[in-house]
Structure 1
Amino acid sequence: MTLLEFSQLLYDSEFGTALRESVYLFPLIEGLHLIGLAVSIGLLFFVDLRLLGWFLPQLPVVQLLHSLRPWLLGGFAVTFVSGLLLFVATASKIVVLPVFFYKLGFIALAGLNALWFERRWGRDVVVWGNAEVPPSPVRFAGAASLTLWSLVVIAGRLIPYLSYQ
């Protein structure tokens, strides 16, 4: 089964049709997706700006990460689940859009960046986390995160505009 066939199956399913045609459910899911993005990406930007040494330089990174991590993960969970539901509702319309695959690629790269940061630097945050300006690889991870998540949001916002052409 090809991706297009699978996406058409999702789109034509009873569940996909119900989501897409619901007067209240689809906008509610879209709203939750945007709220999840605002929480997760918004707070992540504060962390990334701190990693760059541009925001709250006197605050230890470990304290910022510890305080925001539950909110970040909760926001990402809401965004992920609502994104899956939006995909089911619109699957066959968006899998033909290159920007959708750019979005997925940027998400994958941002995830790899976060994994690299956690494995390489996150474990030793107590060693370097009090510095006003963190080590250059940490700053690179923060800049990469800011860039990639910005591209995810931009690509995501382009999807509804490009799918109606």
Structure 2
Amino acid sequence: MSLYDLCEAIEATAVSAALRESLWLFPVIESVHLVGLAILGGSLLMVDLRLMGAGLNRQSIAAVEHGARRWFLGALLLMLVTGSLLGISEAVKLYDRPAFFVKMIALATALVLTFTVRRALIARNSSGGPAAFAIGAASLSTWLLVAVAGRWIGFS
């Protein structure tokens, strides 16, 4: 079975049909997805700007990350669920969109960076420095690519 065949099979499910045929369901899910994006973006900005030395300098990096963690994880879960539902509703369309594949690669990269390199740096570094700045900038850039590629899907 090819990836295209899998996309067709996903679109043939009752859930996909219900999402596509409902007048209000897709827009509501997309709106919730965007709320998740705002929360995720805010929590990322707080931590990554602190890593870069650009905010909340009176608190350690670990303290800022600890305060933002619940918001980040909740928003990430919300976005993964709503994004999956949005993807199920138009799987064949997404198959033909290069921006979707850019988004998925950027998302995988951002998740690995966030949960490995960034987390390890925060666990051992409370003051910042060049490595913290570089990781914060890389994190912000990668997550921004996820968001821009997501928006680009509608135009490609």
| Correspondence for 1:89 | 89
Letter in 2 for 1:34: L
| Correspondence for 2:74 | 74
Structure 1 residue 135: Cα displacement: 2.6
Residues 48-127 of structure 1 aligned to structure 2 (within 5 Å): 48-114=48-114, 115-118=116-119, 120-124=120-124
Deviations 1:83-131 (A, max 9, x none): 000010010001111111001111111112112222x32332xxx31x2
| Correspondence for 2:154 | 160
Q: 1: CA distance between counterparts of 2:14 and 2:111?
A: 32
Residues 25-40 of structure 1 aligned to structure 2 (within 5 Å): 25-40=25-40
Q: 2: CA distance between counterparts of 1:38 and 1:139?
A: 23
Letter in 2 for 1:152: V
1:149 and 2:143 are equivalent in the alignment: yes
Letter in 1 for 2:52: L
Letter in 1 for 2:58: Q
Q: 2: CA distance between counterparts of 1:161 and 1:121?
A: 37
Q: 1: CA distance between counterparts of 2:121 and 2:20?
A: 43
Q: Secondary structure at the match of 1:160?
A: coil
How many residues are paired up? 155
Letter in 2 for 1:140: A
Letter in 1 for 2:24: Y
Letter in 2 for 1:79: M
Structure 1 residue 15: Cα displacement: 1.1
| Correspondence for 1:7 | 7
Root-mean-square deviation (CA), in Å?
1.2
Q: 2: CA distance between counterparts of 1:38 and 1:32?
A: 10
Structure 1 residue 57: Cα displacement: 1.5
Structure 2 gap segments, 5+ residues each = none
Deviations 1:15-50 (A, max 9, x none): 101111111211111011111111012220121011
Q: Secondary structure at the match of 1:161?
A: coil
Structure 1 runs, 4 residues or longer, greater than 4 Å off: none
For the 8 Å contact 2:46–2:68, the answer to whether it is kept is no
Structure 1 residue 2: Cα displacement: 0.9
